[in-house]
A and B are shown apart, each in its own frame.
Chain A
């Protein structure tokens, strides 16, 4: 069974940093692109970032470019999101989502984690 389990969400002050993790199981992790998608309280879904199966390609939404870094450790079947210079508008539930293919384009998100809450507030 494919499973994704996020962790690392917390309350952090504006300007602070946080690292999210997503532990994957039940599939060949390195064969699939992975994504982070967020959802602010009461709002819709926003794609944040993607990384190719090999880790050689990374992609970001303009809203986080230069502040967030996506990475993966295929030996540990784990996806990461390093978030720096956090702002109040980054407050959201962050989901990791598996792409159907090796790259994020032309692919749907066929499996999602339960999400981890990041709150940016003083």
Chain B
């Protein structure tokens, strides 16, 4: 199974800050890496697919990069509504696996 490791597990940042979240796969997954945002009591929402493609309707302040084993989710200017938990997920092979999540809080 491919293990997905996210870091940090949580962070606190101010409105307007640039935030980066890292996801590392235990083996190469090419660009089959997706990012989701989840707010309390809600289902996850797709932000980025294929490592760097922005899902329709997602603000342009979100971006993704990377390939192979190392990936980054960037929020260019943190907004209050970005407070949430973020998960990466590989779709390269079964079983599909998620990272442990990164909780983003606003200072």
A residues lining the B interface (CB < 8 Å): 35, 37, 44-47, 50, 59-62, 95, 100, 104-115
B residues lining the A interface (CB < 8 Å): 1, 32, 34, 36, 38, 42-46, 49-50, 55, 87, 89, 91-101
Contact A105 B98 (CB under 8 A): no
Determine chain B's interface SS by DSSP, over half rule. Answer: loop
Q: How far is the CB of B84 from the nearest CB of chain A, in Å?
A: 13
B49, B97, B101: the one within 8 Å of A110 (CB): B49
Q: How far is the CB of B69 from the nearest CB of chain A, in Å?
A: 17
Contact B94 A59 (CB under 8 A): yes
Contact B95 A47 (CB under 8 A): yes
Chain A minimum-CB-distance residue to B96: A47
Complex-state Cα separation, A111 to B56, whole angstroms: 12
Between-chain CB contacts (< 8 Å), 11 pairs: A35-B96, A37-B44, A44-B101, A45-B98, A50-B96, A61-B95, A62-B1, A62-B95, A105-B91, A105-B94, A110-B55
